[in-house]
């Protein structure tokens, strides 16, 4: 027999896109994943929005000015960018490339439209749609956040309705039940683990 098993194959890093309507708990899920310290690279998004309490620059986001953001766009430094509820958000290209090159799975959190853009750029990206158990629960979570004006809340709810219709563009859908965050994270981790066992692995190139 030959000395090596033909199935001992290369492990390709994944580009995991965690998306879903505003308020479903993307940030909280990412935070819990970080706490578990599993060797992923979590993309630090650039944004023009001001930090929320407890948010740290270069950790949660790169908080930058409108001018700085415009410069990044001009230099082609962003993989994707969008105006999300009157604030700009963008994914630094070089950061993602370097993390993938190091062999790490890359996790990014991004709005639904942005996820579609990433999929266009990189058909082998792994798209996970996070959702709440009901629309009522989503509204409740947005209200609890207390960062929204009544008009802002109304806009987010209307947008969420539209975004929920785009589920078909995603690979997986994970329900983030209230008070069951660890279960949500376990499901996301199971998806990542399973994808690494695929006979036909995703091969990301950016």
Q: What is the set of active-site residues?
A: 52, 145, 156
55 lines the binding site for a second copy (CB under 8 A): no
Cβ proximity to a second copy: between 71 and 182 the closer is: 182
179 lines the binding site for a second copy (CB under 8 A): no
Strands 41-42 and 106-109: parallel
39 lines the binding site for a second copy (CB under 8 A): no
Q: Among residue numbers 1 through 20, which ones bind a second copy (CB under 8 A)?
A: 1-9
Cβ proximity to a second copy: between 64 and 189 the closer is: 189
| Residue 114 Cβ vs a second copy, minimum distance, rounded to whole Å | 18
What's the rounded Cα separation, in Å, for the pair 5 and 67? 54
**Which position has the token pair 């958000």?**
89
x/- mask, a second copy, residues 133-172, rule CB under 8 A, reads: xxxxxxx-----------------x---x--xx-xx-xxx
Question: What is the residue-wise DSSP string for 146-174?
Answer: ----HHHHHHHHHHHHHHHTTGGG-SEEE
Cβ proximity to a second copy: between 64 and 164 the closer is: 164
Question: Are 206 and 93 contacting, i.e. CB atoms less than 8 angstroms apart?
Answer: yes
| Residue 30: partners with Cβ closer than 8 Å, 6 or more residues away | 18, 42, 107, 109
């Amino acid at each position: 027999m030959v000395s090596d098993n033909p199935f001992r194959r290369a492990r390709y890093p994944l580009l995991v896109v965690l998306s879903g309507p505003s308020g479903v708990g993307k940030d909280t899920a990412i935070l819990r994943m970080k706490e578990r310290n599993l060797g992923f690279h979590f993309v630090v998004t650039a944004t023009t929005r001001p930090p929320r309490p407890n948010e740290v620059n270069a950790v949660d986001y790169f908080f930058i000015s409108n001018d700085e953001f415009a410069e990044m766009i001009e230099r082609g430094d962003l993989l994707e960018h969008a105006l999300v509820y009157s604030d700009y958000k963008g994914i630094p290209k070089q950061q993602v490339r370097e993390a993938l090159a190091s062999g790490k799975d890359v996790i990014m959190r991004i709005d639904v439209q942005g996820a579609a853009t990433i999929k266009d750029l990189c058909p082998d990206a792994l798209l996970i749609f996070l959702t709440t158990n009901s629309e009522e629960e989503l509204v409740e979570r947005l209200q609890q956040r207390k960062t929204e004006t009544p008009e802002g809340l109304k806009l987010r709810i209307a947008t969420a309705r539209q975004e929920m219709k785009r589920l078909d563009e995603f690979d997986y859908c994970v329900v983030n039940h209230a008070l069951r965050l660890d279960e949500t994270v376990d499901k996301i981790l199971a998806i990542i683990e399973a994808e690494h066992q695929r006979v036909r692995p995703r091969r990301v190139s950016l």
